Amino acid sequence: MFSVFLSIKLFPIQKITIDSTTPLFFLYKKPLFLRPISSKSSTNQSSFALSSLINSSGLCPQAALSPETLKKSISSGKSSIEDSFSVSYLINSCGLSPESAISASEKVKFESPEKPDSVLNLLTTHGFTNAQITNLVRRRPVLLLANPEKTLSPKLEFFQSIGVSRTDLARTLSSNPTLLTRSLENQIIPSYNFLKGVVQSDKKVVSALKRTSWIFLEDHKKNIVPNIAVLREDEVPESSIALLLTHFPEAIMQKHDQFREIVNEVKTMGFNPLKSTFVLAVHAISGKGNKSIWDRCYEAYRKWGWSNDEIHLAFKKHPHCMILSEKKITRAMDFFVNKMGWNSKMIARCPVVLFFSLEKRIIPRCSVIQVLSVKGLIKKDLSLSSVLLPVEKCFLERFVTKYEEEVPELLSVYQGKVGILEL
């Protein structure tokens, strides 16, 4: 009783009327909660919360409270202060929105900033940006209560030891902070050992992690191991299995029955299991959204005059041509057909050109070819593959350096510094 009266006398703060339905954010918006409350002030603030509870209930300070009622009120007041501090900290120190902070405070509570501060400091020293820390805390607020030295630091150091860069690690863990909640000895290291045994190098393990970090959280015996067994039954080379696991791990993480059906479908389409296009086709057919993507690709290619046979031919040569975006297909085909005057069916025989960058590869090379063609220095019926497939060094030697005396500006055309019309 005395603490209640003393609190009211020492802290003549504006009266806050609350009830059980008052949103926590309403309390946060009061001046009392403009910044996290330190643990040193928790006693006084608990007394204030208790005073507020007494006032809001309609009880006069002189009213007698039973020991049980007093105990419940004190407990309720302390809980309110913990919630308020947590919300305040999540907003001010972690960058969460008020709504996200209130939601996160239901999963994590703390009275002082020492432990969460140590977690934030650790993340910062490992290269996490403010935005990445906000995303991580919003997804897994419980990590603020983890032991930085015993729990978090060993996991961060392990990933860095296998070759994950600080930038990639921060990006991966902020997108999937569940990794930091799993046991290093029982989940993360066993996953690494399994993946390393299949792909044979840390670099490829890191590649798989960057593409689909959930592969480190999988029970590999459930789907991945039997799916790999299906591929081995069909004599798919280990290099192709490593390719699928490294670059398209989500395909091999599918449910086993579904994966087996896809493999059988790819075989009936005539793909040779001994070639890498076999696993590329498996990936192209996999995925919940790929059916709709296939339909859009079919329509896009038909608009440019491809027959079903030509679409199937392109798919056999490069399976991923059926999961390109409609926009990318349209931009590339428009340039090849309308700007360069090539027959669209040429692309069906060399679909890999659809994957090249229009700005960085296709336009620079085709600009050089146009100049040489106009000046009569090369044939006009060059094949698509001879222009776009060679590596840059070979292209420059064959089409730029070779003709630098006749067309001194050719390198500038290739680099985009001089337009064709300027010659």
DSSP 8-state class, residue 416: T
Are residue 350 and residue 367 in the same domain, yes or no? no
Are residue 107 and residue 33 in the same domain, yes or no? yes
Give the integer Cα–Cα distance in Å for 70 and 80.
15
Which of 68-72, 106-110, 311-315 has the largest mean confidence? 311-315
- Whether 62 is in a domain gets the answer yes
Q: What percent of the chain has pLDDT over 90?
A: 72
Give the integer Cα–Cα distance in Å for 168 and 179.
14
Q: What is the pLDDT of residues 146-198, one digit of tens each?
A: 999 999 999 999 999 999 999 999 999 999 999 999 999 999 999 999 999 99
**Mean pLDDT along residues 350-378:** 95
- pLDDT reported for residue 326: 94
- Contacts for 130 with CB less than 8 Å, ≥ 6 apart: 95
Are residue 22 and residue 6 in the same domain, yes or no? yes
Range in 111-115, 125-129, 174-178 the model is least confident about? 111-115
- pLDDT reported for residue 13: 36
Range in 59-63, 103-107, 186-190, 359-363 the model is least confident about? 59-63
Crossing angle for the helix pair 2-10 and 42-56, to the nearest 10 degrees: 100
Are residue 50 and residue 74 in the same domain, yes or no? yes
Q: Please, how many CA atoms are within 13 Å of residue 421, restricted to the half-sphere of its CB?
A: 0
- Whether 298 is in a domain gets the answer yes
**DSSP string over 325-390:** -HHHHHHHHHIIIIIS---HHHHHH-GGGGGS-IIIIIHHHHHHHHHHHHTTSS-TT--HHHHHSS
- pLDDT reported for residue 423: 59
Q: What is the mean pLDDT of the chain?
A: 83
- Whether 319 is in a domain gets the answer yes
- Whether 117 is in a domain gets the answer no
- Whether 198 is in a domain gets the answer no
- Whether 248 is in a domain gets the answer no
- Whether 103 is in a domain gets the answer yes
Are residue 13 and residue 40 in the same domain, yes or no? yes
Are residue 2 and residue 108 in the same domain, yes or no? yes
Question: In the listed set 336, 355, 374, which residue is the last one of a domain according to the structure?
Answer: 355
- pLDDT reported for residue 82: 54
The domain in which residue 372 lies consists of: 357-423
Q: What is the pTM of this model?
A: 0.72
pLDDT at 64 over 60: no
Are residue 345 and residue 392 in the same domain, yes or no? no
**Mean pLDDT along residues 402-411:** 94
**Mean pLDDT along residues 27-35:** 34
**Mean pLDDT along residues 106-126:** 92
- Whether 244 is in a domain gets the answer no
Are residue 318 and residue 412 in the same domain, yes or no? no
Q: How confident is the model at residue 51 (pLDDT cuts 50, 70, 90)?
A: very low
Q: What is the pLDDT of residues 293-308, one digit of tens each?
A: 888 999 999 999 999 9
Domain count, the chain: 3
- pLDDT reported for residue 77: 44
pLDDT at 18 over 90: no
Are residue 347 and residue 362 in the same domain, yes or no? no
Question: In the listed set 355, 370, 392, which residue is the last one of a domain according to the structure?
Answer: 355
- pLDDT reported for residue 86: 87
pLDDT at 349 over 90: yes
Question: In the listed set 355, 382, 408, which residue is the last one of a domain according to the structure?
Answer: 355
CA dihedral 232, 236, 242, 247 (to 10 degrees): -120
Note whether 335 and 370 are within 8 A (CB).
no
